[in-house]
Amino acid sequence: MILDRACIARLLDMGESIKAVERVFSLFGRGKALMPPKIYLELKKYHGDFRAMPVFVEGMGAALKWVNVHPANLRKHLPTVMATIILSDPATGAPLAILNGTQITNFRTGAAGGVAAKYLARRDSSIIALVGCGEQAKTQLLALENLFRITEVRVWGHQKALVQRFLKNIPPKTFLFVAAPSIQECVGGADIIVTTTPSRRPLVKFRWLKKDAHINAIGADAPGKQELDVAILKKAKIVVDDWRQARHSGEINVALSQKAISQGSIYAEIAEIINGKKKGRTNRDGITVFDSTGLAIQDVALAYLVYKKALKRKLGRPIDLMG
């Protein structure tokens, strides 16, 4: 079947997505998945890149995601990230579904941030700082809403117009929204900080942070990208989604290349915490950082979830790719 954006929007639910992503992290940590590293196709002429992400998870199927990242699309009123997912039957290789992966990408990344905050942020966290105000920020906030009693959300963007558009498009909430005039005023005193920018220079400084803040570092997804002051990584309890991928393209990649930190500086992969091999937040922890690079296991988890719901509701357009 073909599942377009409208179908996907009807079928995605953040609460279900958080549970699916937490489960697939657990399966991955128990050796129930195959996930080669992302393949990057960088097109400097067009100031963007493509990534191919193959994956297999037991009980969920095999999938391939073809996704782009073009930051300049903001000026063209296009998404900076767009994706297509092919879900296949691992037993026969037959394609089961072709899915618009753009919203799935946003939801699975938001869900991963939610899972990380569940284990690494203080349970009484209530003040959220969003550094970056694109589609990723929306789903990150949606996930945190499912898990915490939020009282205030501060939003910063590199253009005031983008912040105002973000605030205008958010449905009415019971908590306070603040358009922060600076990054420092956005993150200062915040319990959970989410960074979702394509920055290649540090935006968030260590001296601005609350002593027990949690950071979901989402934006760095390619070599050379970074959003956090290296001093933060030197002092924080760092958890990554996948060491192999994070060292190449995650928030830690620049600090590693500068030898400011090493592999020994990484406390855990998130699956180790979910599976009980290592502890999440403890009373002794100060700042915690989750380095999210985005994994293909997350995509297949949500693609499979959406596919099963579509079958049950008889949605999507059937096609014959075997004829």
Active centre residues (catalytic): 65
Which residue's structure tokens are 């924080």?
236
Q: Are the C-beta atoms of residues 259 and 186 closer than 8 Å to each other? A: no
Q: What residues form DSSP beta bridges with 53?
A: 65
Query: Hey, which bits of the chain come out as E strands?
Result: 2-3, 33-34, 39-43, 48-57, 61-69, 81-88, 95-100, 127-131, 152-156, 176-179, 192-195, 200-204, 214-217, 226-228, 237-240, 266-269, 288-291
d(CA 239, CA 266): 6
What is the DSSP track for 206-241? GGGS-TT-EEEE-S--STT-EEE-HHHHHHSEEEES
